[in-house]
Chain A
Amino acid sequence: MLAFRHSLKLSRHNTLCTRLNSTLVIAEHNEEQLAAVTRNAITAATKLGGDVSVLVAGSKADKVAAEVSKIANVKRVLLAKDAKLGGQLPERLTPVVLASHKQFKFSNIVAGASSFGKGLIPRVAAKLDVSPVSDVIAVHGADSFTRTMYAGNAVTKVKSLAPVKLITFRGTAFEAAADGGSAAVENAPSSDIKTDTSEFLSSELSKSERPDLGTASIVVSGGRGLKNGENFKLLYDLADKLGAGVGASRAAVDAGFVPNDMQIGQTGKIIAPELYIAVGISGAIQHLAGMKDSKTIVAINKDPDAPIFQVADFGLKADLFKAVPEMTALLSK
């Protein structure tokens, strides 16, 4: 009898969970435009089942909220507009997320696995006393996910027992959600935002006319073989012919050839473009972690033993200083 009652309770509990499954996606934006990774996170969120709400928090986020309300499958947009939220500091966003959660009792609170999402989601998780799941690449059900460990050398399927799932999703693993919705925008429940412990001072963003690394369909990337920063011009010329983004290995960043935010790898950006052209990059484990899901990989390197050739679909053993200009010239024809 006890066992029966227990199972009854369990099954009732399960139906309740299924029925009430609902997800809050935290939108990432710069007050003007939604970050592309949020659209990928929305697609991942729909795979969890249940309704999808999106929280847009910022100092003047109306425009972003309007953009989000048009995305397909978004049921509700919660807008938290407050001057204190400019700069999007996690200490200030966390109470906003918690206030929304308190009202709507979401079963999942998620974001893209960008520096924004990685900074915020675990802090919220601590406040809810749950264990978050980072950088998820596949959703198998409401509590079952796949993520990678050891720089992508082990693929792990996990089951989360947490009462609320706090997840960041790897953008490249999910399609971007398209427009086609008409969600209502409502004000997020108010919260007490303390401002005494942290303050946003300034940002210094790299300006580039080239496509964003995370979403570019072609990426040309350079490593130590480029020898100096000036030589990266060879890659920029090739990239411009292809409409490609430009990335770099850690060696190229550490040597000061290019800024940090161009780093592809385990601890930099993880990308999966249609075509990845690695130039003068040996292919260390940590670099491969960031690009080995690219559809087609090309390696140009003068060292025939470079590990990059083991993952390349097309390898060319050549001096990059000859091969790259030659390729740029050929593409101009």
Chain B
Amino acid sequence: MRVLVGVKRVIDYAVKVRVKADKTGVVKDNVKHSMNPFDEIALEEAVRLKEKKIAKEVVAVSCGPTASQETLRTALAMGADKAIHVEVDAATAEKMEPIHVAKILAKLIEKEKFDLVILGKQAIDDDANQTGQMLAGFLDWPQAMFASKIEPDGSTHLKVTREIDGGLDTIKVKLPAVISADLRLNEPRYATLPNIMKAKKKPLEKKTPADFGVEIKPQTETVEVSDPPVRQAGIMVDDVQSLVSKLREKGAIP
């Protein structure tokens, strides 16, 4: 089985983002970036499938500016065999939507045979939670989103436990399929120094959206990006008694 994993370079999850003064976006220059946390989980799962001899090859793909190659090197250091960088300039990358990424991945899959695609359930920058579902739609493959457990079911199917609103559900999907990883799927490994060194020698193929015949034509215009409303400063209370009376005064509790 060949597994494709999508990885996105995003502002590190621990960074408190700042909105630009001209309201066109958030400040990205000189801000720490790293692999989207959900993509680390997706990749870890793919590497584990390889370690269990279920997968034969794991390919990591990223769409974005040149700096995305750092993210791909991390993916290679974590255990991917090969990386594909679909390069777009920084300005175009800003305008890229999940639909464009899904189209590129769909074309890539049509060119090279993959049996399974694992993506993160959402990127923590745009919070869209769309790419996996759209890719499955384009390919007409079954989808198993928000996966917290993946088990093979014979050689043609996977049994996937998903995190849904009220708890969990389990579905069976026929390969080829698209899966999106939720937080609880696994605990991603750290890339060790020897593996980081080895990753430098692994193949990284460069492509452009044009190679896949995909035009980045935005369907969603950003009109304005602003700060969320600031909450009024609160007060510290001395004890439980005064907390309860303040809440009662406010009518928040009976």
Contacts and interface: CB of A to CB of B under 8 A. Distances in A.
B is bound to A = yes
Contact of B133 (A90, A154, A314): A90
Given A90-B143, A261-B167, A316-B243, A153 B148 contact: no
Interface stretch (A12-20, A121-129, A178-186): A121-129
Interface in A109-128: 114-116, 118-127
A314 B246 CA distance: 8
Contact of A198 (B127, B138, B171): B171
B228 A152 contact: yes
A134 B129 contact: yes
Interface in B11-46: 11, 13-14, 16-17, 19, 26, 38
B143 A218 contact: no
A204 interface: yes
B145 A118 contact: yes
A164 to B, nearest CB: 10
B81 to A, nearest CB: 27
A296 B247 contact: yes
A150 interface: yes
Interface in B199-254: 218-228, 231-232, 234-237, 239-241, 243-244, 246-247, 250, 252-254
Contacts of A66: none
A135 B127 CA distance: 9
Contacts of A158: 220-223
Interface string A81-123: 0000001011100100000000000000000001110111111
B219 A131 contact: yes
B119 to A, nearest CB: 12
B165 A197 contact: no
A297 interface: yes
Given A118-B129, A296-B247, A330-B244, A309 B171 contact: no
A124 B173 CA distance: 18
A292 B231 CA distance: 9
A276 B159 CA distance: 37
Contacts of A269: 165
Contacts of B171: 87, 89, 198-201
Interface in A252-300: 253-254, 259-261, 266-267, 269, 274-275, 285-286, 292, 295-298
B170 A161 contact: no
Contacts of A122: 98, 129-131, 133-134, 137
Interface residues of B, number: 81
A224 interface: no
Nearest to A198: B142
B169 interface: yes
A275 B253 contact: yes
Interface in B42-92: none
A134 B165 contact: no
A223 interface: no
A123 to B, nearest CB: 4
A12 B252 CA distance: 52
Interface in B144-193: 144-146, 148, 159, 162-174, 177, 182-184
B21 to A, nearest CB: 13
B4 interface: no
B115 interface: no
A151 B225 CA distance: 14
A161 B130 contact: no
Contacts of A144: 223
A316 B234 CA distance: 11
A299 B113 CA distance: 52
B19 to A, nearest CB: 5
A295 B234 CA distance: 12
Contacts of A314: 234-237, 243, 246-247
B169 A160 contact: no
B244 A331 contact: yes
Nearest to A315: B236
B99 A203 contact: no
B239 A205 contact: no
Contacts of B163: 115, 260-261
30 contacts: A90-B133, A91-B142, A115-B165, A116-B164, A119-B145, A122-B129, A122-B131, A122-B137, A123-B134, A125-B137, A126-B102, A126-B137, A127-B137, A132-B99, A153-B19, A156-B222, A156-B226, A157-B224, A159-B223, A199-B171, A200-B171, A203-B167, A206-B167, A261-B167, A261-B168, A292-B231, A295-B252, A313-B232, A317-B236, A326-B240
Given A115-B163, A119-B146, A135-B127, 19 more contacts: A118-B133, A121-B133, A122-B130, A123-B133, A123-B134, A131-B220, A132-B98, A151-B124, A156-B225, A161-B218, A201-B172, A218-B252, A242-B254, A267-B182, A275-B252, A296-B247, A309-B234, A317-B236, A330-B244
8 nearest A-B residue pairs (beta carbon): A126-B137, A122-B133, A131-B219, A203-B169, A122-B130, A198-B142, A205-B167, A197-B142
Interface of B: 11, 13-14, 16-17, 19, 26, 38, 97-99, 102, 121-122, 124-131, 133-138, 141-146, 148, 159, 162-174, 177, 182-184, 218-228, 231-232, 234-237, 239-241, 243-244, 246-247, 250, 252-254
